[in-house]
Amino acid sequence: SIYEMFGNECCLSTGEVIKVIGFKINKLIASICENNEVSQFSAKVELPLNFPGLYKVVADKTPYVSIEEITRKVSIGPTRFGHPCFYSPEDIKLANLTIKHGEQITFNSVEEVNGTMSVNCGVVRNNQFHSFTLPLSQEGKFYECEDDQIYTLKEIAEWKIPKCRTRIVKLSNTLHMWDSSNPLPENFDGCLILTPVYEVQAVMKFRKDIVHILSDLDVEVKDITDCYDISSFLQPLSLEDVFERTSKEFPMVAEIMEGPSRSQKPYNLLHTGKEIVIYKKYQATRVLASEIRSDSPKRHFLIPMSYKGKFKRRPREFPTAYDLDLARTEKEQLHVVATKAFDSPHKELFSVSVGDQFLVQQCQTSEVLYEGRNKLIDVLACEQILSDTYKQVLLPMYMEGGFVEVIHDKKQYQLSEICKEFRLPFNVKVSVRDLSVDEDVLAAVPGLQFEEEITDSYLLVSSASGPVESWEFPVYRLNMSVHLLSKDVHSVVPPVTKTTPEEINEEQYYMVRRYENQTLHPPPRPPKRPT
């Protein structure tokens, strides 16, 4: 049988030995869903995995009848997506714990416990996580829990579609303007039923790349696993697989089996068959920045701390008095101009006019008369700047107005200085570009908002032959496969590291912020009007 996939013709001859290394969803067939059923007016449309948008997963109403069925059909693994949650309509009595009906059970991993294959699980009670195991033989009805997270189609395809089942999703955010090439109706914000179309991933004896075979290819095969030495095949590894290796295994030499699709340097040099040295794995800090502009889409960047350009400050905008309090620092007094009028309902508090200027001082409480009763509320103490004097005023924290910062500081800052001396978010523009790189992508951006510092996972990589520089590869944003070679690394010291700002798309930006904020408490909400 001869077929072509991704422009590569592949011949499967009679007697050819193929090692299947995985199954992967190649694309999704979507139908518009009404009342959990396919709409009778809906045509089926084909969606690629990179189809834009963010989606919420609708919990499957069909129960699983055993823990073994869940492990067979649902993805459970060490990554952030691999911890599905289920509940049982009946109590589950264990040796030292009873799982109550309806209680959310998190599935963390599958492993052998005292000779029995089991799932490591956990429940949260009174903010305490209680761990336990459930054997695969445990029977009962297990239903999916509601999931409030938001995913891309690619993440849903990889982690959230159980084998032999469809998945209903609700569009949460389109991320892009609708155009005529979009297969979904304009302004569509409903539910879709996704049916996966699979491909088989395989390696062949005399090929160094990964072969992709559509599951509907008309070819007969025979399982010879028990009578064949499978160690003679190459073992493909993703960057995530490499990152999970112990630090003692680095440095290592690898050959690329599938290179990334990115066109910019150094990724355009990473073709199939190229040998690379992977020196180490580590976590590195980046500053997440977005272009300042009123319309969308905005550009987004991850800026390394080693960035050698310099920045000048740009005015920040603050929608409430509460935001002014969050932004003030001991280092300097915050000077702002009101851009929106506010009429105070209390005579004890100040009414703001457009153009009023203030120096922000501190947060405090003040007594106001409300419906005949005295009530304490949070206020922001400021000095109003008049023509020849200053006036002490109080602004209610709940005030929804508008303020823009007045910048007196003309200093040029390094990135590390900004992160040390000021609170993020912080507005800047590049005043001196980074001369150590061929093209500084930040220099052409008229204004940037530094949003937050994040920590990300990287591999330090160079070419294996005559390396002159090494690069940081983002583990979770670079899609490539390698296999390890049993070669010695000539030098364990990597050449000079070339670190440049990385431009990320809107979906990657959303994911970076989501993963980072999972470990943080949400900021407190601004105070409301007294009631």
The dihedrals phi and psi of 180, each to the nearest 5 degrees, come to -65, -20
Q: How confident is the model at residue 180, as a pLDDT?
A: 55
Q: Are 469 and 436 in contact (CB under 8 A)?
A: no
3-state helix, strand, coil in the chain (%, to 5): 10, 45, 45
**Closest C-alpha to 364, from 318, 400, 389, 328:** 328
CA 70 → CA 56, 120, 423, distances in Å?
Answer: 21, 13, 46
pLDDT single digits (tens) 158-179: 889 998 888 999 887 665 555 5
State the Cα–Cα distance between residues 145 and 156, nearest whole angstrom: 16
Q: Measuring CA to CA, how many Å separate 390 from each of 227, 348, 356, 381? A: 90, 18, 12, 13
What pLDDT score was predicted for residue 332? 83
Residue 515: per-residue pLDDT:
53
E-strand ranges in 339-396 read 357-370, 373-385, 390-396
Cβ atoms of 213 and 200 closer than 8 Å: yes
Token code pair at residue 176: 């892009």
pLDDT of 520: 37
Domains of the chain: 1-59+146-233 (no CATH), 66-144 (no CATH), 237-283+457-495 (2.30.30.90), 317-405 (2.30.30.40)
Q: Which helix (H) or strand (E) holds 419?
A: helix 415-421
Task: Give me the residues of the chain with pLDDT under 50, please.
Answer: 7, 516-526
Provide the pLDDT for residue 62. 92
| Residue 458 CA neighbour count, 13 Å, CB half | 21
